[in-house]
Amino acid sequence: MQKKLVAGNWKMYKDKSETFELISQLKEKLNSFFPDVDVAICPPFTSIELAGELLKNSKIQLGAQNMHSEVEGAFTGEVSAKMLKSFGVKFVILGHSERRTYFKETDEFINQKIKRAIEFDIKPIFCLGETLEERESGKTFQVVENQLTKGLSGISRIDLEKIVIAYEPVWAIGTGKTATPEQAQEVHSFLRKKISELYDSEIAMRVRILYGGSVKPENARDLFKQPDIDGGLIGGACLKADSFYQIILAAQD
């Protein structure tokens, strides 16, 4: 069992002054007590530099929400792993359902991004999960297995160590509808079994699998108690220092 990781996905929230305020509040809380949990925040690109400066000498790690698979080139509006690396970024969220849905990102593109992030020593938080329609038609396992296999295609066992997986049922993201701890555990244990088939059981035990989808202080503890849930990817509830801190504390119990 790994040390738990709680990562905050700020999405398209927080301008410069709001970034300053949220990070200052979070640091203050974590200064008084920093539990035995890995913590990362993933602000928008416009706040990466400021966040990096504010997080110097802090145990809170810096993440980003996306990147392109190429190192550089004529890709207007995009940001590369090399650029993120130069700002001290340690994690990058890849394959988030909002990117898959609104920006039509494919499993193949996500796989290329994962490989590139690893090349630049940035840990991918590789997101996957089924839609409500897929769940209701009994396709959850088939869908997540397909996303997992394609996302990890060509990735060696050594590189798998650098990847964090995040199971995020699409129907639970930003909807207030959380998967029950049992529903989440069922998929997490399935994913671990598949990783063990793709690689081996020893590495499958060590890969962190986060749960994401309407995690809040009220439900975090029960989710994190499940044997195959190694932390959370938090959206809405990470935008306030207090609720994010409560979730971080829940990950320690």
Catalytic hit among 96, 105, 134, 188: 96
Select from 4, 9, 92, 219 the one that contacts ligand PEP (CB under 6 A). 9
Whose Cβ is closer to ligand PEP: residue 156's or residue 175's? 175
Q: Is 42 in the site for ligand PEP (CB under 6 A)?
A: no
**Is the Cβ–Cβ distance between 128 and 115 less than 8 Å?**
no
- Angstrom distance (rounded) from CA 54 to CA 19: 10
Q: Considering the complex, what minimum distance in angstroms separates the CB of residue 98 from ligand PEP? A: 7
Reading phi first (left if > 0) and then psi (alpha if -120 to 50, else beta), residue 204 is in: alpha
Whose Cβ is closer to ligand PEP: residue 96's or residue 192's? 96
Task: Name the one residue in this structure whose structure tokens are 């994690």.
Answer: 91
SS3 content of the chain, % helix, strand, coil (to 5): 50, 15, 35
Whose Cβ is closer to ligand PEP: residue 124's or residue 235's? 235
The phi, psi pair for 2, rounded to 5°, reads -85, 160
Select from 43, 63, 212, 231 the one that contacts ligand PEP (CB under 6 A). 212
133 labelled catalytic: no
Site residues (CB under 6 A) for ligand PEP?
9, 11, 168, 173-174, 212-215, 233-237
Residues annotated catalytic, as ranges = 96, 168
